[in-house]
């Protein structure tokens, strides 16, 4: 099996709640349940096995249903290794009706093989087989065995293959469609023409149908002597998942509006919503960044994301530690960037961040002054805000020792929120006593790692790769 066919496995902890699972499963077919520090899953939550209905989501959310309660036990899950032949993998996909299979190597989860990778491999095989009879027999078995709709069209848009799942999803028999010209059933222009022109595949294209359903469609070119001879389309109905995603986004918007009511006044909200943040691509050789997106209300989103991280840690028991105050941390998060002054950039602009951005100690000091003199925040809050960008070796001699665990936690939350806001990172957290386990996937190489932070000692252990 070619490792290029594998995806990075989506991993969650056993106590991950349904509200955190839904966004993951809207993007992926399976989330593997891994204990903290483990290398092998104890189970997996498959999207296909969950009833994506509003009633299910409401009941599961109210109950606080966790991944461990929803997962299929590991002993009931078939898995592959890097030596597994693709034909054997196809048989497992057919027998178990799954969209992704875990790949294990040396007692460790190393990847997840999606069904669409099998289709890519099949396309390459179809292009290279010398024996036409063998080619047709094998391809027919594969096409009819998968549970995604599949249509193969040639360069003239004539339908050459049409499997059973396509019949069920589109309501037309293969005998009626084979040999006829393909019609576009999406309301949008089909990417078939783009794939025909460029020879590059497109995956997970959202295609709204005229009847109100939503399909997720993959388009894979068939290459003949280096030229595109046709396109394989595979598709599945994701209407239920998209309705669930829309409900979740609506709930998030409601939470954000509710959060605005907790701010001290409208001026704080106005300042946060008018402090931009930026997404960028980083050049490791020059150190320059190129702006790829302007987040106009980035300061507000940064605070909201920080509070969400704190809420996640609170659910995992972090507030039970001596010296950790929820109220102090919430106030510190709300005010910690209120004095931040950001430069104005445009998409495509390349800059040296060391020259363009204000030194972080300066805006931390300014934020602390605002919190103290205009809003009369507690002294502990002021200490934390003022020094949340300081290395511990830079702290003043009179910095209160009892605040160091909270300072470490605030710095951790601030960094994770920045990753969520500016780098669209994926983060998983676990708490074990005074230690916080952070599993982070991040496009920035300096942060794409896992680490353990001891809030009492300040010790930080980092390791790669992210599980």
Q: Over the stretch 146-178, which tens digit does the pLDDT of each residue have? A: 778 889 999 889 998 898 889 989 888 988 888
Mean pLDDT score of the chain, rounded to an integer? 84
Sign for the pseudo-dihedral over CA of 259, 264, 268, 269: positive
DSSP structure class, residue 8: P
Contact partners, residue 364, CB within 8 Å, separation at least 6 = 336, 339, 385, 386, 387, 388, 389, 390
* Percent of the chain whose predicted confidence (pLDDT) is above 70: 84
Average pLDDT over residues 107-121: 81
pLDDT given for residue 465 in this prediction: 45
Highest mean pLDDT among 98-102, 122-126, 402-406: 402-406
Of the candidates 414, 410, 398, 449, the residue with the CA atom closest to the CA atom of residue 428:
449
Query: Average pLDDT for residues 28-56, to the nearest whole number?
Result: 83
Is residue 188 very low, low, confident or very high in pLDDT (cuts 50, 70, 90)? low
Taking each helix axis as running N to C, give the angle between helix 360-373 and helix 326-335, from 0 to 180 degrees, rounded to the nearest 10: 110
Nearest CA-CA partner of 385 in 401, 369, 368, 402: 368
Is residue 6 within 8 A of residue 112, CB to CB? The reply is yes
pLDDT value at residue 467: 41
Q: Which tops the pLDDT comparison, 54 or 107?
A: 107
Tell me what the mean pLDDT of segment 118-126 comes to: 66
142, 123 contact by CB (below 8 A): no
Which is more confidently placed, 316 or 190?
A: 316
Structure tokens at 22: 């839904």
Domains within the chain, CATH numbers bracketed: 3-118 (3.10.580.10), 148-238 (3.30.450.20), 262-463 (no CATH)
Distance CA 71, CA 33 (A): 7
- Whether the per-residue pLDDT at 380 is higher than 90: the answer is yes
The tally of CA atoms less than 13 A away on the side-chain side of residue 306 is 24
For residue 416, CA distances in Å to 407, 442, 447 come to: 14, 10, 10
The tokens describing 188, both together, are 């949008």
Is this structure's pTM higher than 0.85? no
Q: Percent of the chain, pLDDT > 90?
A: 40
**Is omega for the bond preceding 465 within 30 degrees of 0, making it cis?**
yes
Predicted confidence (pLDDT) at residue 344 exceeds the cutoff of 50: yes
Side-chain-facing half-sphere of 315: CA atoms under 13 Å: 16
- The helix (H) or strand (E) run that includes residue 73 is strand 72-73
């Amino acid at each position: 099996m070619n490792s290029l066919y594998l995806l990075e496995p989506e991993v969650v902890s056993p106590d991950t709640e349904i509200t955190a699972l839904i966004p993951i499963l809207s993007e992926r077919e399976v989330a593997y349940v891994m204990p903290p520090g483990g290398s092998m899953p104890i189970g997996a939550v498959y999207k296909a096995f969950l009833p994506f209905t509003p009633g299910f989501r409401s009941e599961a959310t109210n109950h606080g249903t966790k991944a461990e309660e929803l997962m299929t036990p590991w002993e009931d899950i078939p898995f592959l290794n890097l030596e597994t032949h693709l034909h054997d993998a196809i048989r497992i996909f057919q027998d178990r009706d799954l969209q992704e299979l875990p790949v294990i190597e040396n007692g460790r989860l190393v990847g997840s093989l999606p069904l669409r990778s099998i289709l890519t491999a099949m396309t390459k095989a179809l292009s290279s087989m010398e024996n036409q009879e063998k080619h047709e027999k094998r391809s027919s078995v594969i096409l009819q065995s998968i549970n995604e709709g599949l249509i193969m069209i040639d360069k003239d848009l004539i339908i050459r293959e049409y499997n059973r799942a396509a019949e069920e999803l589109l309501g037309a028999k293969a005998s009626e469609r084979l040999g006829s010209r393909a019609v576009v059933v999406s309301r949008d222009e089909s990417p078939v023409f783009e794939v025909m022109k460029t020879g590059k595949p497109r995956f997970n294209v959202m295609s709204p149908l005229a009847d109100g359903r939503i399909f997720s469609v993959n388009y894979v070119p068939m290459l003949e002597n280096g030229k595109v001879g046709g396109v394989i389309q595979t598709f599945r109905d994701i209407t239920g998942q998209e309705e669930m995603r829309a409900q979740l986004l609506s709930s998030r918007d409601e939470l954000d509006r509710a959060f605005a009511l907790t701010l001290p006044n409208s001026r704080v909200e106005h300042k946060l919503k008018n402090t931009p943040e930026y997404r960028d691509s980083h050049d490791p050789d020059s150190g320059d960044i190129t702006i790829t997106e302007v987040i106009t209300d980035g300061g507000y989103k940064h605070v909201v994301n920080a509070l969400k991280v704190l809420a996640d840690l609170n659910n995992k028991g972090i507030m039970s530690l001596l010296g950790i105050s929820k109220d102090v941390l919430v106030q510190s998060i709300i005010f910690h960037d209120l004095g931040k002054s950001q430069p104005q950039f445009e998409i495509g602009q390349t800059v040296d961040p060391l020259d363009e951005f204000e030194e972080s100690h300066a805006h931390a000091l300014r934020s602390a002054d605002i919190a103290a003199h205009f809003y009369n925040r507690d002294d502990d809050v002021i200490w934390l805000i003022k020094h949340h960008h300081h290395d511990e070796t830079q702290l003043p001699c009179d910095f209160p020792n009892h605040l160091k665990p909270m300072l470490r936690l605030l710095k951790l939350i601030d960094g994770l929120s920045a990753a969520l806001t500016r780098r669209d990172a994926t983060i998983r957290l676990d708490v074990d006593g005074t230690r916080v386990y952070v599993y982070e996937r991040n496009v920035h190489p300096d942060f794409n790692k896992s680490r353990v932070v001891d809030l009492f000692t300040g010790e930080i252990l980092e390791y790669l790769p992210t599980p």
